[in-house]
């Protein structure tokens, strides 16, 4: 999805990235309303910022905007976005699941989401950018403005914290 | 010395070939690192298996004013954009005189229902608009 030549239009960004930005926001906040507000804020910032965007690492640019929008939101609300219980996950496209399958899968997703929300922000962000958004370590480093080694450490420590949280249940 | 965060880099394919070979050599005779690798690999898979959430339709509405509107209104504005699109397609196919004016009320009915009935799934509409 990376574009290194042309500047995309807002419509392209919204269509190519809207859903993944929303999913990033949803996994960071654990609730739909905050995720929706955040994704809208990001797309508004993209609209304003595209005119000044210089072709380069589009992923780094976009995710830096996303991250800044999220951090601004935290500052504005002056609260940690870690206290709310996650919404119940709706399952992805599937073929005739049994009710037991649905329950089991929802329970696993809820446990994972709850564990994610317990992580300190830097670790949660790194893990979500890597495993939900699918960014490379370099792209995460560009977005968070830290060295790649820091990203590697945050992802690994984040995963170890998740492992411990899930095994403690 | 154990591999530490190189284990995550290893499963994310973020090690260069020499570092990858060195990690594999280390893993072949270090049970604690193998255990840790197994733990982070399991967590990584579970995070990646989290179901993708459908984004709200309003996110894709091209008008900047839309973001300031309350949710139900936003859905209506977005649906109006869909209605315009549908009418536009009708024009392209049928020529100038065959504008299917009855589509607009239909879409409005659909959205009015979607905005009032929590059991009615707006996301079905998004699948058409977002792609």
User: Structure tokens of B64?
Assistant: 């900047």
Cα torsion angle, B47, B52, B56, B57, sign: positive
What stretch of H or E contains B28?
Answer: helix B17-28
User: Structure tokens of B84?
Assistant: 């315009």
The most distant pair of C-alpha atoms in chain A lies apart, rounded to whole Å, by 51
Q: Determine the average pLDDT of the residues in A31-47.
A: 92
How much is the pLDDT for B81? 54
How much is the pLDDT for A96? 66
Compute the distance between CA of residue A141 and CA of residue A139 in angstroms, rounded to an integer: 5
Tokens 């739909």 appear where?
A: A32
Contact: A160, B46; criterion CB under 8 Å: no
Contact: A23, B36; criterion CB under 8 Å: no
How much is the pLDDT for B79? 54
Contact: A131, B39; criterion CB under 8 Å: no
Compute the distance between CA of residue A128 and CA of residue A22 in angstroms, rounded to an integer: 12
User: Structure tokens of B112?
Assistant: 């009015």
Compute the distance between CA of residue A43 and CA of residue A10 in angstroms, rounded to an integer: 8
Compute the distance between CA of residue B54 and CA of residue B123 in angstroms, rounded to an integer: 7
pLDDT values of chain B reduced to their tens digit, one per residue, 131 residues? 899 999 999 999 999 999 999 999 999 999 999 999 999 999 999 999 999 998 888 777 765 444 444 444 455 555 555 554 544 444 444 444 444 444 444 445 544 554 554 444 434 333 334 33
A66 min Cα distance to partner chain B (Å): 14
- CB count within 10 Å of CB A120 equals 13
User: Structure tokens of B20?
Assistant: 């990858």
Compute the distance between CA of residue A154 and CA of residue A152 in angstroms, rounded to an integer: 6
A146 has a chain B CB within 8 A of its CB = no
B3 min Cα distance to partner chain A (Å): 11
Residues A77-104 as b/e (b if ≥16 CB within 10 A, e otherwise) read eeeebbeeebbebeeeeeeeeeeeeeee
A1 has a chain B CB within 8 A of its CB = no
Q: Which 1-30 residues of chain B touch chain A by CB within 8 A?
A: 4-9, 12, 14
Share of chain A above pLDDT 90, in %: 54
Contact: A19, B54; criterion CB under 8 Å: yes
A117 has a chain B CB within 8 A of its CB = no
Compute the distance between CA of residue B85 and CA of residue B76 in angstroms, rounded to an integer: 14
Contact: B5, A127; criterion CB under 8 Å: no
- CB count within 10 Å of CB B80 equals 16
More confidently predicted of A53 and B96:
A53
A157 has a chain B CB within 8 A of its CB = yes
Q: Which of B43, B52, B56 lies nearest to residue A23, judging by beta carbons?
A: B52
Those residues whose C-beta lies under 8 Å from the C-beta of residue A40, and which sit 6 or more positions away, are B58, B59, B67
Q: Which of B11, B43, B56, B72 to mutate to test the interface with A (most CBs of A within 10 A)?
A: B43
How many Cβ pairs closer than 8 A exist between chain A and B?
Answer: 108
User: Do the Cβ atoms of A123 and A158 come closer than 8 Å?
Assistant: yes
Which residue on chain B is closest to A153 by alpha carbon?
A: B5
Contact: A130, B12; criterion CB under 8 Å: yes
B45 min Cα distance to partner chain A (Å): 8
Instruction: Compute the radius of gyration of chain A from its Cα atoms.
Output: 17
How much is the pLDDT for B29? 94
């Amino acid at each position: 999805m990376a574009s290194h030549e042309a500047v995309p239009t807002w419509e392209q960004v919204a269509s190519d990235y809207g859903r993944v930005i929303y999913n990033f926001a949803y996994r960071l906040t654990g609730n739909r309303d905050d995720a929706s507000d955040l994704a809208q804020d990001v797309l508004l910032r993209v609209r304003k910022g595209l005119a000044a965007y210089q072709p380069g690492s589009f992923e780094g640019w976009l995710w830096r905007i996303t991250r800044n929008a999220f951090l601004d939101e935290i500052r504005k609300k002056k609260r940690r976005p870690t206290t709310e219980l996650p919404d119940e996950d709706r399952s992805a496209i599937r073929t005739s699941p049994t009710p037991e399958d649905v329950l089991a899968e929802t329970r696993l997703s809820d446990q994972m989401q709850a564990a994610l929300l317990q992580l300190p922000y830097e670790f949660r962000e790194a893990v979500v950018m890597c495993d939900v958004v699918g960014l490379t370590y370099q792209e995460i480093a560009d977005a968070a403005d830290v060295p790649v080694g820091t990203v590697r450490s945050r992802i690994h420590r984040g995963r170890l914290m998740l492992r411990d949280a899930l095994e403690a249940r | 010395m154990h591999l530490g965060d190189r284990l995550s880099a290893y499963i994310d394919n973020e090690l260069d070939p020499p570092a990858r070979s060195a990690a594999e050599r280390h893993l072949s005779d270090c049970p604690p690192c193998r255990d840790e690798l197994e733990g982070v690999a399991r967590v990584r898979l579970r995070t990646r298996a989290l179901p993708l959430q459908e984004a709200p339709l309003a996110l894709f509405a091209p008008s900047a004013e839309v973001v300031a509107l309350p949710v139900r209104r936003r859905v209506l504005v977005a649906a109006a954009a869909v209605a315009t699109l549908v009418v536009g397609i009708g024009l392209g196919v049928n020529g100038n005189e065959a504008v299917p004016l009855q589509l607009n009320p239909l879409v409005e009915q659909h959205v009015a229902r979607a905005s009032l009935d929590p059991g009615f799934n707006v996301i079905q509409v998004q699948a058409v608009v977002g792609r």
